Structure 1
């Protein structure tokens, strides 16, 4: 089976995993802001995420001396954040609306990155050469850092911690989960970027270094400004 087919399969599994996370959270009957379920909100999110995915993915490809069009999950994150913040500002929404996306996002990335790993060299998400024993040969005879697995593992660990927090009714984790998953993603992605063959943009830093840092700083600001978390309550059964 080709790498492209495997990538597509894991993309589908990532969406299914995210959907399963949404279903599981709904079974826990947690209270999430109603605005995040409204159609204009979802439309803004999808538009921003799609635009960011292709804009940043393609820009990184060009900065690395390659031609073509590419997608980026980090670009999708950044685009989605900007689009939603602009939408909330225009609609006068002041409540924080991202809480319900924390687990689907972490689980989706954890699964999706496995597809990047199996896609091999064509996916351009592999790491730089390494002499470490767990280096992986993606088909060109050069052992490389399997950075896709590093990222998948980091996000899977976050997903597990989040599930435990939900089961233990951890109000801070549930209320601020979206910003916590962004902080986790931004920090680990910033580190892994040093192990990727992407072209630098400023000094030793790539476009995704700067994007990771921006996401991390955004998450840190939102966490610092977070109101005191109230006890987690379940929605009344319909």
Structure 2
């Protein structure tokens, strides 16, 4: 099976995994704001995520001296955040609606990054050369950091942490899970960017370094201003 086909297979598995995670949360009795299920909300999310994915993915490709069009999961995440915040502002929605996306986000990235790994050199998500024993040869005889696996493992750890928090009815984690996921994702992604062959934008920092810091800052502000979590006997999150 070709790398591109494997990537597509894992993309589908990532969506299925995210859907299964969302279903699992519903089975735990957690209720989420109805607004996050509304068609206009979903439309804004899909549009923003799609635009961000191609905008940032392609920009990073060009900054790295490559031609063509590319997608980025981090770009999709940033685009989706901006689109939803704009939608909420225009719709007069003042409360938070992202809680139900925490586990699906972590599971989706953990699975999806495996597809990036199997896609090989054509995917341009591999790491810089390394002499470490777990370096991977993607087909050109050079051992590189398998950064896709690093990110997949990191997000799997967050997913496990979140599941344990849900099972223990941790009100803060359940209510603010999406922003915790964003903060964790931004921090780990910032670190892995030092192990990628991307073109720099400011000093040693790539476009995704700056995007990771932006996501981390957004998550930090949202966590710092988070309202008090609702009592768990209500089994509701906002």
Shorter-chain TM-score range: over 0.9
Equivalent position of 2:40 in the other structure: 40
1:198 Cα shift?
0.2
Unaligned runs of 5+ in 1: none
1:7-86 to structure 2, matched below 5 A, reads 7-86=7-86
Q: What's the CA shift string for 1:82-122, capped at 9, x where partnerless?
A: 00000000111011000000000000000000000010000
- TM-score (ref. length: structure 1): 0.97
**Runs of 4+ residues deviating >4 angstroms:** none
Cα distance in 1 between the residues matched to 2:5 and 2:29:
37
The offset of 1:139, in angstroms, is 0.6
- Specify the SS of the correspondent of 1:176: helix
Q: How does 1:153-168 map to 2 (within 5 A)?
A: 153-168=153-168
**1:1-238 aligned within 5 A:** 1-233=1-233
**d(CA) in 1 for partners of 2:22, 2:162:** 13
Aligned length: 236
1:141-187 per-position Cα deviation (integer Å, ceiling 9, x unaligned): 11000000000000000001101111110100000000000001000
Report the secondary structure of 2:218's partner residue. Answer: helix
Shift of 1:60: 0.3
List alignment gaps of at least 5 residues for structure 2: none
**2:169 & 2:231 partners in 1: Cα distance?**
8
Whole-angstrom CA distance in 1 between matches of 2:86 and 2:119: 35
Q: Displacement of 1:230 after TM fit?
A: 2.0
CA distance in 2, matches of 1:22, 1:206: 33
The whole-number CA distance in structure 1 between the counterparts of 2:154 and 2:223 is: 20
Shift of 1:235: 5.7
CA RMSD in angstroms, aligned pairs only: 1.0
d(CA) in 1 for partners of 2:232, 2:24: 16
